[in-house]
Amino acid sequence: MVEGVSKRIRFDDLKLFCRQAYMKAGVPEREACIVADLLARADLRGVETHGVTRLPIYIQRLQKGYVRAECKITSIKDKGPVGFAEAHGSMGHVVAYKAMHQAIEKAEEHGIGCVSVKDSGHFGVAGVFPEMAAERGIIGYICTNSAPMMAPFGGRERIIGNNPLSYAFPAGTYPPVVVDFSCSVVSSGKLILARKKGEKIPIGWAFDKDGLPTQDPYEGYEGGGSLTPVGAHKGYGLTMAHEILTAVLTGGKWTRNIKSLYEEDKSGIQGTCHSFMALDPDCFIGREEFKQNMDRYIKSIKESGKAKNVEEILIPGEPEFRTESKRLKEGIPLSLNTAEELTTLGKSFDLSLPFIE
């Protein structure tokens, strides 16, 4: 996004607007606070594709009864470090927040925690959840399935998801290493955002419904096309592994049976499935020594030889950390299209957005 062609808003103001919108849609205040923070934080970190640009569709789904306004999670099995629960179509952000907390608590007690949930919903940015573990000196991991976005390697039918994963590793003087990516070259959100902004996409991001490379973001996803798997058969393999670790493991919906956020779904259960893991370094070399080792490891990478014309080697998660620091001071830029959509949504709830400019 060209930050000059945008409107800016402070993080706290954006978070408050989201919280108030969710409460107007019937979400309890405590849960509205959770999802509002996670949604606004995506834009704060520079991941606009999974941020407030999706607030209007999230609110529409609540109003239509496609997702539960009040979170309901039922424990199915709980055995030592392992937990398994059903979310009954609750908001994915809240479900993931609660499940990650449970995994962290189990890791603090048992050294490792693993929690899987079925019948949840879209949870936005994957990286914010394992980072909750890193903030407490614990390693975090998450994977999920999703609505259909890709064709299997060698196929033409869009039946598999881009099934994201994320790791977060705590460090000492450095910010945590946060690995966060989907199994497609780019997320569907990038195509949706490009379509909203009237931009073309690079060849290699997606195929149209006939299986041909396209630069049209609509034809590459919303118009029936499919995203390109990262690393060809490698991304396909990761996608299958994540489907097995989530939906197959829990008996939940497979990707091909999940509808996207933008489809009619009167079932009230989108059905995405997630798995969360937390690992306590205290069971190995200890949390503090692990952080010191992380610092030494990160330093060795950042001080290694740089390619020509490269000023600095960055660590996964570092660009988002720097963006967050910058935007906390300067405000969060929203594309004019997103700002207009939020303004329209706000008017329907008698809410306003206090833009900086």
By percentage, how much of the chain surpasses pLDDT 90?
89
Give Cα separations from 277 to 82, 154, 274 (angstroms). 9, 32, 10
Does residue 223 belong to any structural domain of this protein?
Answer: no
One domain for residues 287 and 329 = no
Which structural domain range is residue 46 located in? Answer: 1-64+321-357
One domain for residues 132 and 247 = yes
pLDDT tens string 175-207: 999 999 999 999 888 898 899 889 999 999 999
How many domains, in total, are found in the chain? 2
One domain for residues 133 and 50 = no
Does residue 251 belong to any structural domain of this protein?
Answer: yes
> The pTM is what?
0.93
Does residue 314 belong to any structural domain of this protein?
Answer: no
Q: What is the arithmetic mean of pLDDT over 10-36?
A: 98
One domain for residues 130 and 25 = no
One domain for residues 131 and 263 = yes
Does residue 204 belong to any structural domain of this protein?
Answer: no
Please report which helix (H) or strand (E) contains residue 11, including its range: helix 11-24
Q: What is the arithmetic mean of pLDDT over 160-179?
A: 97
Does residue 198 belong to any structural domain of this protein?
Answer: no
pLDDT at 340: 95
Best CA proximity match to 187, nearest among 261, 247, 96: 261
Instruction: Please determine, for residue 246, whether its predicted confidence score (pLDDT) is greater than 90.
Output: yes
One domain for residues 144 and 8 = no
Instruction: Give the C-alpha separation, 50 to 11, whole Å.
Output: 15
One domain for residues 37 and 76 = no
Q: What is the CATH number of the domain that holds 138?
A: 3.30.1370.60
**pLDDT class of 357 with cuts at 50, 70, 90:** low
pLDDT tens string 57-73: 999 999 999 999 999 99
Does residue 163 belong to any structural domain of this protein?
Answer: yes
One domain for residues 278 and 326 = no
**pLDDT class of 1 with cuts at 50, 70, 90:** very low
One domain for residues 164 and 253 = yes
Does residue 93 belong to any structural domain of this protein?
Answer: yes
One domain for residues 59 and 81 = no
Q: What is the CATH number of the domain that holds 44?
A: 1.10.1530.10
One domain for residues 1 and 16 = yes
